Structures are given as structure tokens and as C-alpha cells.
Structure 1
């Protein structure tokens, strides 16, 4: 919502509801802290990757980065997720090679295919964590989102901040985009800044784009000499302009860039309409939902999080200390 990033008349009119939201969230967190509401530990070191604001901030690349660095360090990580945007017949749901984004949500399916780590989705993250431990020999659990899911105890909290939009107008929902106040940052272990100017103790992250990859097996590798650099693009993520900017930095000219809502449920007709006139580029998260479409010239652009190796060392050291 555009008014979340400035203080408009709409923001002020919603302040009474913001006050109610603040009261409810404060009392809820206090109830967990005092033991009035029950929380549970998963039984292995647990890392929560979340954010303060609504919308995509770059959590999924961080989760993938964690899976990769932990696997390289000898850990056996598994991922749990709410599975936002998916609708399964039962929960918790184990993601496998046949699971669709419509069932599990686009991000868990993306993480599974990129990392080949076990992934379980459920509205109850503690239920997901239980099934993950029962089904796999994981020794670290990574929660994709869930900073405010206090029923699940955690050992490390990581907050990802959109370096461009940051915290919008600084107000809680619904007047602003925040789920919790910025004071919450004082209690987390790590703040990762995705693509903006570093402030305070934040750690820098950049997203490195790889070569365009065919959305379906029926499409050949992208060839600039054949297709040129003029493309159409679509993005159903939290901040679509970031993706269009990435394409520009890669040397592509976006003739038509179509933003969709985060977790948009694409249908085949709207994608085929966009690829009729020019090659179509989309995000990897969106491609998860388009793999079964009969497409002819659609590619996605994978991105990888680049974070200082010293940060990885600190996380690994804390996990080893926690496991002792």
C-alpha cells in the first residue's frame, strides 16, 4: 500500500486501529514471555529469518544462503515455512519434487529445488518442526519468516531489512507496514540490509543475478544474439521495481514491466500474453508457479545472496556453541 511509505491522511485516519494493533501485539508477546501462552523448542538449534515489515524484503535468498553455508560446514539443515499463498489438503506438508507452489507456496518450493534440503510447511511452525525432525536427521532448523511466531522458540534471530524502502513511514499496521516497532531490532542477533545504505550494526547483502534460465524444459537457453536485449518482464514479489532494476543492470531493456502483487497466482493466459511479442523474464519465485505452462520464450533470473564470509563464521560458531 503506497500510503505505508509516507504519512498521508489515510495513515492518520487509521491510527486508532494502529493503537489497537500495538496493544494486542504487545500483550501477546508479553504473554509468551511470562509463560501465559505456551511456546516450544524444536529440540535442535533454530534460526528464524524474518522482518519487521509486511512484504518481501529478501528473506528467501537469506534462507538459501544459510542452507548453503551450513551444509558446507557439515550441518544438516532443514527449513520450515508458513507456506504463504499455498493451500494444501493437509498440514504439515513435506515438500518434494512433485509439490506445486499452489500446494506449498512459491517460496518453500523454490527453497527445496535450490537447496535440496528437507522443507516442511504448516501454519503451525512447531508442527512443521516436529515433522521435520521425525522425518529427517536435521541438526539445524531454519524458519523462513516467523519472527512474530512466538510459539516456536529460537536460538538465533535474523531480520532482513529492505535497504531501499526500509520501514516505510515508521508506523505499525494498518497505518504503516510494521508488524512490530523498530525497538524489536535491539533484541535480534543480526540485521541484514538488502541493497541499501548501511545504518548502525546492519550487515550488507547484495543479490547477485545469474544467467537467465528457461522456465520449462521445452525452452532453450537464452541467446542474446538470437533474442537481443529488448524484453518484457513481470514480477509478483514484494517490490517488483527491484527486479526490473536488476534486468536493467544486466543490460536488458524492459519494454513492458508488469508488477503483480506478492505471491500472485499466475494463470497461463496472462503469462503467454506477455511472451507473445518479446522474450519474457520473471523472478525465480514466479517461475515456480509457471513450470507447467505451455510457454515458448520465458526465462527466470536466479539471484544469490552475497554476504560477508565473516558473518557466516559468526553464525556457525554460535550454532556450534548452542549444540554443545
Structure 2
């Protein structure tokens, strides 16, 4: 239903339109208050790159964070990552995250990023505190923030927006009548626009997600997708149909498709109840980090890698690297 409303296919968005106007006025005033110095924002002592989006829902932002961190690591840069930690609740913040940190404390995405990149990760509702925790931990050349485009209390040096190329901006309205956190004109002020799937426009970077082999949650054994039989597919991400479509593109037609809410907290009993005899469970890697503590032999996950193409990719990476090098030189002068 929400997709129909946000796409404009359902007239119910008109009933929510007054609330969208309120949302838009409030969010615009917040942004202006920081831009004009009416509210204080904090500049970190190292460069900050924000990877965010203009819309609610899954756009593929976390795979981009992982891709960027790995690309910068290959260039010899020491990258830290900060996140709000949606879906987690720690006793105290900031929380330093490792691949072994419970997702109930850190949230699923920070644990996944730490697991895939090996980079230091910190979460806190106030991202300034997370950045400070990373800097206190050790030598960091720059910080990448997972989400936070609208978190203007933290100043940034570069902004990258990820767009779902199939859904783009729906009806174009602010929440809740539409999917927008900020209007599309905000793209005019960012440094790069990455489009996940669909068709790119001028100056946009094309992105696709490439699936690897399925990985068993319990044994870490890998297996070709085609070797899995009687698959029950589940996804608790921002846009579950993307995962189900990926499976079909690789020749897997699930016997059942089950969509959970983003950041859903799973239990062994809940997931075991999804399977009949002879079936196996196939989930996203983001779901898997929440299920590893009670994994069963017939549970698998599918890792994906973001691939960015186009002439703007190399200049983007070079720009960020040069930003860091300049900052380091200026700091020692």
C-alpha cells in the first residue's frame, strides 16, 4: 500500500498532503538554521564524507558505503565509519562496533559494514560523538557516515546521494504523502549521485548489485545459487522486492517469498517456522548478521557487491583521496 501511495498510484496521498507540507516546512527550517549559523554544527578534525539519500526506504546505500570504504582502503587510506545504528539499542553511546558486536546493540548495518570492511565503526545518535570515539581509538584519515545527509549538526566535506533507479522519487512529495526527506532539487548541491539500477541521467553514476555464491550461516560453506533446492526467500530490508528479483535474475524461483520490516529482530523459532521438510532458507547478508547466533544448518545468505560504472567514478575517488592528502598536509604545516 505504501508503495502505491508514494508512487501516486493511490489517491490516498492527497489525504496525507497537509502533513507533508508540515514536514517540508520543518525540515527546510532545520537545514536553513544550520546553514545560516542559527544552530551550531561541528566540524571534525578529519574530512567527512556523507553517503545518504533523499527518500525513505532501501536504496542500496549500505553496499555503497562498503564499496567506498574498500576502494579508499586500497588507496592506503585509514577509513572510519559512523552510523546512527538504527535497529540497535546500546546501554551507552558512543559504541565501538566490531564484526562480533550484537546487532541488538549496534544495529544490523554497522555490524555488516565492520564485518565486510574491517574498518573501525562507531554508532551514536549524535554522530559527532561517534566521530570523536573513532578519533580517540586511533589514527583515522577520514570518516564515512552511513546515512546522515539530513544530520546537519555534523559538517561534511563531500555528499554522495544514492537513488533507487527503479522507483526514483515516486510522487516527489515529502513524507508521509511521498517518500521524500528532502526535495529532488537538493541534488544540485551534492557532489555525486549514484543510481542503483534503472536508467541513469546525465552526470549520474550507474550502480548494480552483483550476487556471489550463497553462504551457509552455520558452517560458512559456499555454494552456487543454482545448487540450492526448495528455497524459501526472506528479506528484512528497506525494499525486499529487490532481493527477490535478484534471485529470479539468477534462476532461483523461491517457493515462498517473505518480507519483513527493515531492521526486524528475528528469533530462531520465528524463522524455523517458515520452513517445511526439505526446504532451505535464503536471506540477505544484512539479515544474516542478526541470525548468526542461532543459525540452523539449512539457512543461507546471499552476499552482494556494489559495482559502480561510468567516467565519474575515478574522479570521485581521486577527489576524496586528494581531499584527505591536502588536509593531512595542511595539518602538518
Which band: TM-score by shorter chain? Answer: over 0.9
Distance 1:100 1:18 in 2: 36
1:220 positional shift: 4.4
Segment drifting more, 117-126 vs 261-270: 261-270
| TM-score, with length taken from structure 2 | 0.92
Distance 1:275 1:109 in 2: 27
Q: For residue 13 of structure 1, what is the aligned residue in structure 2?
A: 15
Within 5 A, what are the aligned runs for 1:40-79? 40-79=42-81
- Is contact 2:110-2:123 (8 Å) kept? yes
Alignment partner of 1:282 is 2:283: yes
CA RMSD across the alignment: 1.6
1:52 positional shift: 0.3
Q: For residue 245 of structure 1, what is the aligned residue in structure 2?
A: 245
Q: Matched residue of 2:122: which SS?
A: strand
Q: For residue 255 of structure 1, what is the aligned residue in structure 2?
A: 255
223 and 46 in structure 1: CA distance in 2 versus 1, 3 angstrom threshold:
closer
1:295 positional shift: 0.9
1:136 positional shift: 2.1
Q: Matched residue of 1:291: which SS?
A: helix
Q: Matched residue of 2:231: which SS?
A: strand
Q: For residue 319 of structure 2, what is the aligned residue in structure 1?
A: 318
Q: For residue 235 of structure 2, what is the aligned residue in structure 1?
A: 235
Deviation digits for residues 96-133 of structure 1 (CA, Å, limit 9, x no counterpart)? 24311111000000000000000000111111011111
- Is contact 1:67-1:77 (8 Å) kept? yes
312 and 72 in structure 1: CA distance in 2 versus 1, 3 angstrom threshold:
farther
Q: For residue 307 of structure 1, what is the aligned residue in structure 2?
A: 308
Distance 2:276 2:138 in 1: 44
Q: For residue 168 of structure 1, what is the aligned residue in structure 2?
A: 170
Give the unaligned 5+ runs of structure 2. Answer: 327-333
Q: For residue 146 of structure 1, what is the aligned residue in structure 2?
A: 148
Within 5 A, what are the aligned runs for 1:85-100? 85-100=87-102
Q: Matched residue of 2:290: which SS?
A: coil
1:313 positional shift: 2.6
- Is contact 2:165-2:199 (8 Å) kept? yes
Distance 1:67 1:84 in 2: 20
Distance 2:103 2:286 in 1: 9
Alignment partner of 1:296 is 2:286: no
Segment drifting more, 166-175 vs 104-113: 166-175
116 and 310 in structure 1: CA distance in 2 versus 1, 3 angstrom threshold:
farther
| TM-score, with length taken from structure 1 | 0.95
Distance 2:139 2:81 in 1: 12
Q: Matched residue of 2:294: which SS?
A: coil
Deviation digits for residues 258-304 of structure 1 (CA, Å, limit 9, x no counterpart)? 01111111111121122443111100000011001141201100000
1:216 positional shift: 2.1
Alignment partner of 1:266 is 2:262: no
Distance 1:319 1:9 in 2: 44
- Is contact 1:229-1:251 (8 Å) kept? no
- Is contact 2:214-2:224 (8 Å) kept? no
Q: For residue 4 of structure 1, what is the aligned residue in structure 2?
A: 6
- Is contact 1:118-1:136 (8 Å) kept? no
1:221 positional shift: 3.8
